[in-house]
Amino acid sequence: MSTIIVETQSGFLTESSIDSSVAEAMPGVACCVFAKDIPGSNAVGPITYDETVLADGQVTCVGHIIGAVVADTQLAAQRAAKAVRVQYQDLPHIVTIQEAIAAQSFYQPIRTIKSGDLEAGFKQADHILEGEMHIGGQEHFYLETNVTLAVPRGEDGEMELFVSTQSPSKTQLLVAKVLGVPANRVMVRVKRMGGGFGGKETRTTVLSTVVAVAANKLKRPVRCMLDRDEDMLVTGGRHPFYGKYKVGFLNSGKVVALDVSYYSNAGNSMDLSLSIMERALFHMENSYSVANVRGRGFVCRTNLPSNTAFRGFGGPQGMMVTESWVTDVAQSLGRPAEEVRRLNLYVEGESTPYNQMLDQLTLDRCWDECLQRSGYQQRRAAADLYNRLNRWTKRGLAIVPTKFGISFTAAFLNQAGALVHIYTDGSVLLTHGGTEMGQGLHTKMVQVASRVLGIPCSKIHISETSTNTVPNTSPTAASASSDLNGAAVLNACQTLIQRLAPYKTLNPKGSWEDWVKAAYFDRVNLSANGFYKTPDLGYSFDTNSGRVFNYFTYGVACSEVEIDCLTGAHKNLSTTIVMDVGHSLNPAIDIGQVEGGFLQGLGLFTLEELHYSPRGVLLTRGPGSYKIPAFGDIPTQLTVSLLRDAPNDKAIFASKAVGEPPLFLAASVFYAIKDAITAARVESGVSGPFRLDSPASAERIRTACCDRFTKLCPPADPGTFTPWSVQV
């Protein structure tokens, strides 16, 4: 088996000049692979084919893949790749959202969701305020970087691929397109991933297609696993967002009008950026009822590696801006933020700006339970006292709700399949369309099959996910995999149970194995496939009608922090989460998902900061320069409870999706920090709304605590803290 390594050397060029002669003569090198080696099409992409497998002519970001070197060891391949000489001719480039806005560099369409009468809303308002916020991107930092093993089978153009991907079917289709063969020659297999988090929904094909081309050229198996620095540079991450808002509200704190614009940094290709912007817009009001709204979404085309899905899929960015204006409203009225939040919280029967009626709403129950479990009022009193006694450290609190829409927003993706075999010894092989990435999907699917078939989980096995068992699958994403695949597994298992029923009736005291054997000897088909599609979906932006989501997952978190006003450091003292996941399929998994999602959000909003040079070169390419959460960042007290007695009639066994919704609850930590900063500012005689960008890094916390020392420095430009780095 050979190893391939993709070395990216790029800039902005019109005509690429590549000299690989030295590399090709190096020991162990089998060959180099460039665009000319692609037998099929070099035009790829998950939705629009606006990308190349291997750059041909123009490259549009640092990290764009030009070619690959195949050698007998990873080291030899990496060394040789460094020896390839590439010359570039610089072209003008756009790196930041602000640069894209100035150049009007947007992908089309620009989305709008409008409801009510905005003008009348602002007329009705007692106050109007404006604000803005930037939310930085995020690196997926899955433990396992991107990896593909491609094995040509030597017949009829067949190729078998073992890929760490959330999308076996997308991988199959793109590899087939690139190799110029029908999809039925390409088999993609996924045992499991060492984490995906959305980073392996589409961007995995950036590598898998190249490995397939190399394996096809050499007619030998080729494997490549990216090093961490390459993975961080090449595969993109969460979209940075910039939000600008104007909000109208009454003296009571009730918000009556909202005009908000979102700008995302999509990078050099479309990828999923439009869907991600749509999900941001579908979450622009978070959990609050606003009668008159306009939300607009601009997807910026820039010269960065294409950004992509990341847990929450634009929802967290959308809701982060919401919480910024809620905080501003409270601060401008001098009212506690939790009162303003509670006052504006949705009630049963109200409709979202995209005209979806909210029923079985549990937000108020989550809210009240969280308030009570966290001891909010006592904590508030204690924090106020602490802040009176301490000048240079301050404590802050925030309680933040979330409402996360469950369904792929592209309705056609809401389908799934399953294939179940019963063998004559009674053991069951289960396959379904979803992939396992640590979220416990396979465990839940075995539980579903066990419950329907009426046999213990130990008799059921899932071996892998593959395109030749369940075809045309949607990516394992949108938190909906248990809902979708679970219902497909249920469907298949019900078919089998019906087929076995006569043998059970004949031998009611018999065992599972007896019935299976009897059915087999009676020549009954012991294999069944199952299928499911979510009913009643189909939203249209043109008419702002039709259901977007099957239902919503709700949660509320209350966090308390302490900041050091002089260094900007902070400590996470406590977080209390109440999450409505319906009748949990597996409480141990779901609590793990809530904890993991929350911590990943905590990294996003308080720790993780990508730095780019003004020319768009990613500078943070490893854990040494990019800080992900560690044990010490977990709140000293962290309590997660699942809301009791909240069955959901829209999903399998009354459960709810859990994967992405809890991530946003980490906003409670961010807004607790903002609350603590507010206490520090009050001591300097400063009050009222102020801008705080995400992440709430030490620099931002320090400079926002304005005092006699910060007055000695020039006012900080929110976009730059260091001369060598820009906020993208």
Which of 462, 468, 495 shows the shortest CA–CA distance to 481? 462
Residue 404 in contact with ligand HPA, rule: CB under 6 A: no
Return the H-helix or E-strand segment holding 589: helix 587-606
Count of beta carbons in the 10 Å neighbourhood of residue 153: 11
**What span, in angstroms and rounded, lies between the C-alpha atoms of 577 and 665?**
8
Cβ-based nearer residue to ligand MOS, 40 or 434:
434
Residue 311 in contact with ligand MOS, rule: CB under 6 A: yes
Cβ-based nearer residue to ligand MTE, 292 or 481:
481
Residue 167 in contact with ligand HPA, rule: CB under 6 A: no
The helix/strand count (H/E) of the chain reads as 18, 25
As a whole number of angstroms, the longest Cα–Cα distance in the chain is 89
Mask of contacts with ligand HPA, 463-502, x by CB under 6 A? ------------x-xx------------------------
Mask of contacts with ligand MOS, 121-160, x by CB under 6 A? ----------------------------------------
Pairing status of strand 428-432 against strand 460-462: parallel
Whether a cis peptide bond, with omega within 30° of 0, leads into 109 is: yes
Pairing status of strand 292-301 against strand 255-267: parallel
Q: Which residue's Cβ lies closest to ligand HPA? A: 478
Mask of contacts with ligand MOS, 654-693, x by CB under 6 A? ------x---------------------------------
Which of 271, 533, 312 shows the shortest CA–CA distance to 412? 533
Mask of contacts with ligand HPA, 275-304, x by CB under 6 A? x---x-------------------------
Q: Where are the beta strands (DSSP E) in 427-550?
A: 428-432, 460-462, 465-466, 527-533
Using alpha carbons only, give the angle 318, 324, 328 rounded to the nearest 5 degrees.
150
Pairing status of strand 2-5 against strand 222-225: parallel
With CB under 5 to 8 Å by kind, the binding choice for 10 among ligand MOS, ligand MTE, ligand HPA, none is none
Residue 249 backbone dihedrals phi, psi, to 5 degrees? -150, 160
Q: Find the binder of ligand MOS among 245, 310, 354, 626 (CB under 6 A).
A: 310
Q: Find the binder of ligand MOS among 193, 299, 309, 577 (CB under 6 A).
A: 309
Q: Which residue's Cβ lies closest to ligand MOS? A: 198
Query: Least Å distance between CB 48 and ligand MTE?
Result: 22
Within residues 460-489, the interface with ligand MOS by CB under 6 A covers 477-478
**What span, in angstroms and rounded, lies between the C-alpha atoms of 315 and 279?**
5
Query: Least Å distance between CB 604 and ligand MOS?
Result: 13
**What span, in angstroms and rounded, lies between the C-alpha atoms of 359 and 343?**
19
CA 327 vs CA 129, 242, 335, 500: distances in Å: 11, 17, 10, 60
Question: What distance lies between CA 98 and its chain's CA centroid?
Answer: 24
**What span, in angstroms and rounded, lies between the C-alpha atoms of 695 and 678?**
17
Within residues 210-249, the interface with ligand MOS by CB under 6 A covers none
In the DSSP assignment, the letter for residue 139 is -
Residue 409 in contact with ligand HPA, rule: CB under 6 A: yes
Query: Least Å distance between CB 135 and ligand MTE?
Result: 17
What residues contact 564, with CB distance under 8 A and at least 6 apart?
392, 393, 570
By CB under 6 A, which span of 104-112, 271-279, 450-458, 640-648 interacts with ligand HPA? 271-279
What residues contact 196, with CB distance under 8 A and at least 6 apart?
140, 142, 164, 165, 166, 435, 437, 476
With CB under 5 to 8 Å by kind, the binding choice for 481 among ligand HPA, ligand MOS, ligand MTE, none is ligand MTE
Contacting positions for ligand MTE (CB under 6 A): 195-198, 311, 437-439, 441, 476-482, 593, 596, 659-660
Q: Please indicate whether residue 132 is annotated as part of the active site.
A: no
Cβ-based nearer residue to ligand MTE, 196 or 603:
196
With CB under 5 to 8 Å by kind, the binding choice for 408 among ligand HPA, ligand MOS, ligand MTE, none is ligand HPA
Catalytic residue among 132, 348, 660, 699: 660
Mask of contacts with ligand HPA, 180-219, x by CB under 6 A? ---------------------x------------------
**What span, in angstroms and rounded, lies between the C-alpha atoms of 720 and 716?**
8
By CB under 6 A, which span of 219-227, 307-315, 597-605, 666-674 interacts with ligand MOS? 307-315
- How big is the chain, counted in residues? 728
With CB under 5 to 8 Å by kind, the binding choice for 272 among ligand MOS, ligand MTE, ligand HPA, none is ligand HPA
Cβ-based nearer residue to ligand MTE, 100 or 309:
309
Q: Find the binder of ligand MOS among 121, 137, 198, 616 (CB under 6 A).
A: 198
Q: Find the binder of ligand HPA among 210, 211, 309, 446 (CB under 6 A).
A: 309
Which of 279, 284, 263 shows the shortest CA–CA distance to 114? 284
Cβ-based nearer residue to ligand HPA, 243 or 475:
475
Residue 276 in contact with ligand MOS, rule: CB under 6 A: no
Query: Least Å distance between CB 477 and ligand MOS?
Result: 3
645 Rama sector, left if φ>0, alpha if ψ -120 to 50, beta otherwise: left
Return the H-helix or E-strand segment holding 651: none
**What span, in angstroms and rounded, lies between the C-alpha atoms of 584 and 723?**
49
Instruction: Give the footprint of ligand MOS on this chain (CB under 6 A).
Output: 166, 198, 201, 309-311, 313, 477-478, 660
Instruction: Give the footprint of ligand HPA on this chain (CB under 6 A).
Output: 201, 272, 275, 279, 309, 313, 408-410, 413, 475, 477-478
Q: Enumerate the active-site residues.
A: 660
